Amino acid sequence: MKIERLIGIIFYLINRECVTTNELAQKFEVSRRTILRDIDTLTLAGIPIYSELGVNGGYIINKDFKVDEKIIDSNNKEYILLALNSLRTVYGNKKIIETYEKMKHLYNDVNINALPDVDFSVVTESPQIMRCVDLINKATKEQRTIKFIYTNSAGHTKKVFLNPLHTYYRWYSWYVFGYDTSKNDYRMFKVVRMKNISLTKELFQTKDNIADLLSDFEKRRNQTNITVTLSYKQEIDTLVNEYFKGEIVETVNDCFIREIEIKENDFMTFSILLGLCDKVKILSPQKYKEKVLTHIRKIKKNFT
């Protein structure tokens, strides 16, 4: 376990600017004293790790340090190929396909047929959206500000200037995370709602760790979470559990009472709940229940 932890620490440091002892201890689930001993072990072994003092201090590994390819074992190779193959089905980018083929050749000792088949092609976005994602990724690499017209879920349209930092795929859609120059804050935008995307001549720089920025942003977003209480027949528990994990807090007669935590204004979650309303009752909160009922009335009115 120690050798695996030492290797893990090396890669963790390589992929980050500066890491504190507490962060490493939390990541690898050991004490601070153990981490200090591990750092000493790595330093004595010749790994170029040095510490930086101050409020923003921590451990830093020399940027020129390279890890020998031999350190990658058969399990690592399998995960790399599996990840590339999954990305290939959802992204479809020529470079991804080429990379997968190259890695498959390099790791020819891996039994491809024994790997699980994770196919996301059914949720692949349209070619137009993928071209937008490629353009945003280009801007991200070149650190160039982009501008576009954005329409939110309420139908309101605005012009946005964004320093794009990261694109990612979630809930069957592509998103871009970046710094909105007009709001002077970090924002997330759904690519399908972005129109007339273009690269400006403005360049930007960021010294912050993107993963940390995104994590902080998600934490702030999660502060808008609400707890919704559902009631439904026990025989459809498998169906409900497929979409909402939550926790069953009570059983009343032949019904389960389940509490789930959701983002208050998440359209996808709202749509799923709406689709289950013939089988599931929303008990609370009353405000969210009224929101669903209002939407049902609008649907009924639209069909009459």
Burial grade of 191 (CB within 10 A; 0-12, 13-18, 19 or more): buried
Q: Which of 62, 51, 64 is nearest to 24 (CA)?
A: 51
- Can you give the pTM of this predicted structure? 0.58
- How far are the Cα atoms of 52, 86, 106, 117 from residue 80, in angstroms, in the given order? 33, 10, 12, 13
Cis (ω within 30 of 0) for the bond into 285? yes
User: What are the domain boundaries of the chain?
Assistant: 2-69, 72-123, 127-222, 225-302
For residue 93, what pLDDT is reported? 66
Place of tokens 């794009």: 164
Q: Give the CA-trace dihedral at 105, 111, 114, 119, to 10 degrees.
A: 0
For residue 281, what pLDDT is reported? 94
Counting Cα atoms < 13 Å in the Cβ hemisphere of 183 gives 13
Q: Is residue 99 within 8 Å of residue 84, measured between CB atoms?
A: yes
For residue 118, what pLDDT is reported? 59
Beta bridge partners of 232: 256, 280
For residue 287, what pLDDT is reported? 93
φ, ψ of residue 150 to 5 degrees: the values are: -120, 135
For residue 90, what pLDDT is reported? 65
Q: Is residue 173 within 8 Å of residue 192, measured between CB atoms?
A: yes
For residue 297, what pLDDT is reported? 93
For residue 222, what pLDDT is reported? 65
pLDDT digits (tens, 9 = 90+) for 137-187: 999 999 999 999 999 877 899 999 999 999 988 767 889 999 999 999 999
Q: What fold is seen in the domain 225-302?
A: Alpha-Beta Plaits (3.30.70)
For residue 157, what pLDDT is reported? 94
Beta bridge partners of 211: none
The dihedral sign for the CA sequence 112, 118, 122, 123: negative
Distance between CA atoms of 36 and 14, rounded to whole angstroms?
17
Burial grade of 18 (CB within 10 A; 0-12, 13-18, 19 or more): middle
Q: What fold is seen in the domain 2-69?
A: Arc Repressor Mutant, subunit A (1.10.10)
- How far are the Cα atoms of 18, 225, 233, 244 from residue 237, in angstroms, in the given order? 45, 23, 7, 10
Q: Which residues of the chain are modeled with pLDDT < 50? A: none
Phi-psi bin for 188: left (phi > 0), alpha (psi -120 to 50), beta?
A: beta
